[in-house]
């Protein structure tokens, strides 16, 4: 990797979680490669993608992990969460069941990742988590209001954003807010 001027190098692990078909893989491909796949199948076969972002003039690298379809079998393993310092918890604004699953995903995340608490103890703020309501291009068939997303995020202490991997709305911003928050927590 590329060294920072002061010799430090940042590489942050961020995990994507949420029900199957909410658009996690497409959010990642939009962010990392500016690509969208309308026929995307469960597995693309990529565990994670590393993406460089500039924060306050420094290059920060995010290693973003995608579940690659494991969520179908509720088989996301502890290795998936291990070492993560950020998470995007994704639901589909057109599918209420995926919104109802958010709390379960948050539970799983906190149970499985003991560093989560350790890290929080050593920092003013907890690890960066963002609630993402994806597919906001499908306004006509929306099933979860923006207000509901916002208030759940407030309740759980998460950032919140509605995105569209299809038309690229807020995708860059969502990842960058999480990466910036991690950077702030650590430095």
Catalog residues that contact ligand GDP under the rule CB under 6 A: 20-26, 38, 40, 134-135, 137-138, 164-166
As measured in angstroms, the least distance from the Cβ of 144 to Mg ion is 20
Task: Count the residues of the shown chain that bind Mg ion, applying the rule CB under 5 A.
Answer: 2
25 binds Mg ion (CB under 5 A): yes
Tell me whether residue 126 or residue 166 sits nearer to ligand GDP (CB atom). Answer: 166
Give the 3-state secondary structure of residue 70.
helix
Tell me whether residue 25 or residue 113 sits nearer to ligand GDP (CB atom). Answer: 25
164 binds Mg ion (CB under 5 A): no
Q: In the complex, which residue's CB is closest to Mg ion?
A: 25
Using an 8 Å Cβ cutoff, are 133 and 163 in contact?
yes
As measured in angstroms, the least distance from the Cβ of 124 to ligand GDP is 32
| Binding region for Mg ion (CB under 5 A) out of 11-19, 22-30, 103-111, 131-139 | 22-30
DSSP string for residues in 22-46: SSHHHHHHHHHHS---TT--S--S-
CA 10 to chain CA centroid, Å, is 18
Tell me whether residue 5 or residue 39 sits nearer to ligand GDP (CB atom). Answer: 39
94 binds Mg ion (CB under 5 A): no
Residue 147 has a CB neighbour count (10 Å cut-off) of: 8
Place of tokens 């990529």: 46
Query: What whole-number distance in Å separates Cα of residue 82 and Cα of residue 88?
Result: 15
Q: Is the dihedral of CA 136, 139, 143, 148 positive or negative?
A: positive
By DSSP bridging, strand 10-17 and strand 86-92 are: parallel
Give the 3-state secondary structure of residue 58.
strand
Query: What whole-number distance in Å separates Cα of residue 84 and Cα of residue 156?
Result: 18
Tell me whether residue 43 or residue 115 sits nearer to ligand GDP (CB atom). Answer: 43
Q: In the complex, which residue's CB is closest to ligand GDP?
A: 23
Tell me whether residue 5 or residue 38 sits nearer to ligand GDP (CB atom). Answer: 38
26 binds Mg ion (CB under 5 A): no
Contacting positions for Mg ion (CB under 5 A) = 24-25
């Amino acid at each position: 990797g590329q060294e920072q001027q002061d010799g430090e190098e940042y590489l942050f692990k961020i995990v994507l979680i949420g029900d199957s078909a909410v658009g996690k893989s497409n959010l990642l491909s939009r962010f990392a490669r500016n690509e969208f796949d309308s026929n995307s199948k469960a597995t693309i076969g990529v565990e994670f993608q590393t993406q460089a972002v500039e924060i306050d003039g420094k290059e920060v690298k995010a290693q973003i992990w995608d579940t690659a379809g494991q969520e179908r079998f509720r088989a996301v393993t502890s290795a998936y969460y291990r070492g993560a310092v950020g998470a995007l918890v994704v639901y589909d604004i057109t599918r209420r069941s995926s919104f109802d699953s958010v709390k379960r995903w948050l539970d799983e995340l906190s149970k499985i990742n003991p560093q989560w608490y350790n890290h929080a103890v050593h920092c003013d703020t907890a690890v960066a988590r963002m609630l993402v309501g994806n597919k906001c291009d499908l306004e006509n068939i929306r099933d979860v209001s923006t207000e509901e997303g916002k208030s759940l995020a407030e309740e759980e202490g998460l950032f919140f954003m509605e995105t569209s991997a299809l038309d690229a709305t807020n995708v860059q911003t969502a990842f960058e807010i999480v990466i910036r928050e991690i950077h702030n927590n650590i430095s």
